[in-house]
């Protein structure tokens, strides 16, 4: 089983970025934790980050050939990107959306996810642990549909 994990804009700044909202764990630390858990589950992961909407769209569009599922934190594109929504719908792979913060408890413009309707589900507000829950949930989902 092979999963693509995509992180959107500004997530490369985790650890120093708005620590009261996003905490002090870096993206590299999240990747290291997720890799250990993925090894236990015998899942191969490809963990990426981009600040560019088109690059994320390209990654999703090409994912079907290589991956069984997608975990995505589209970051700010969550609230704006019809292109990412369409890419997720087009590629037809199970996807789980992750947010470190509880977007439903934040500014009104963050409370809508444009991208979540193309996902199996959304995990938000649980900090870096959300990536682990998404990995376990997607693993279980894919195992059940084997």
Which residues does the annotation mark as catalytic? 22, 99
Tell me which of 73, 81, 115, 122 binds ligand DQA, using CB under 6 A: 73
Question: Can you read off the two tokens belonging to residue 130?
Answer: 């959300």
DSSP three-state, residue 97: strand
User: Is residue 78 close enough to count as binding ligand DQA by CB under 6 A?
Assistant: yes
To ligand DQA, the closest distance from the beta carbon of 75 in angstroms equals 3
Question: Can you read off the two tokens belonging to residue 7?
Answer: 């992180």
Given a contact cutoff of 8 angstroms between Cβ atoms, the answer to whether 84 and 57 are in contact is yes
User: Is residue 34 close enough to count as binding ligand DQA by CB under 6 A?
Assistant: no
Tell me which of 6, 43, 100, 116 binds ligand DQA, using CB under 6 A: 100
To ligand DQA, the closest distance from the beta carbon of 110 in angstroms equals 4
Tell me which of 12, 55, 101, 142 binds ligand DQA, using CB under 6 A: 101
Find the part of the chain contacting ligand DQA (CB under 6 A) among 31-39, 49-57, 61-69, 98-106. 98-106
Q: What is the DSSP letter of 117?
A: G
User: Is residue 103 close enough to count as binding ligand DQA by CB under 6 A?
Assistant: yes
**Pick from 67, 57, 41, 113: nearest CA to 89:** 57
Tell me which of 57, 75, 119, 134 binds ligand DQA, using CB under 6 A: 75
Given a contact cutoff of 8 angstroms between Cβ atoms, the answer to whether 40 and 132 are in contact is no
Tell me which of 13, 37, 41, 76 binds ligand DQA, using CB under 6 A: 76
Question: Which alpha helices (DSSP H) does the chain contain, by range?
Answer: 19-22, 27-41, 53-62, 82-91, 129-144
Round to whole Å and give the CA distance between 136 and 134: 5
Q: Which residues bind ligand DQA (CB under 6 A)?
A: 10, 73, 75-76, 78, 99-101, 103, 110
């Amino acid at each position: 089983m092979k999963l693509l994990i995509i992180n959107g804009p500004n997530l490369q700044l985790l650890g120093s970025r708005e620590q009261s909202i996003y905490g002090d764990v870096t993206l590299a630390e999240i990747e290291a934790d997720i890799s250990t858990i993925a090894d236990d589950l015998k899942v191969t992961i490809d963990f990426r980050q981009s600040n560019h909407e088109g690059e994320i769209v390209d990654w999703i569009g090409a994912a079907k050939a290589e991956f069984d599922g997608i975990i995505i934190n589209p970051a700010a594109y969550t609230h704006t990107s019809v292109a990412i929504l369409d890419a997720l719908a087009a590629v037809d792979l199970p996807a789980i959306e992750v947010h470190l913060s509880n977007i439903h408890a934040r500014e009104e413009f963050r409370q809508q996810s444009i991208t979540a309707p193309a996902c199996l589900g959304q995990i938000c507000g649980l900090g870096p642990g959300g990536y682990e829950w998404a990995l376990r949930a997607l693993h279980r989902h894919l195992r059940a549909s084997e």
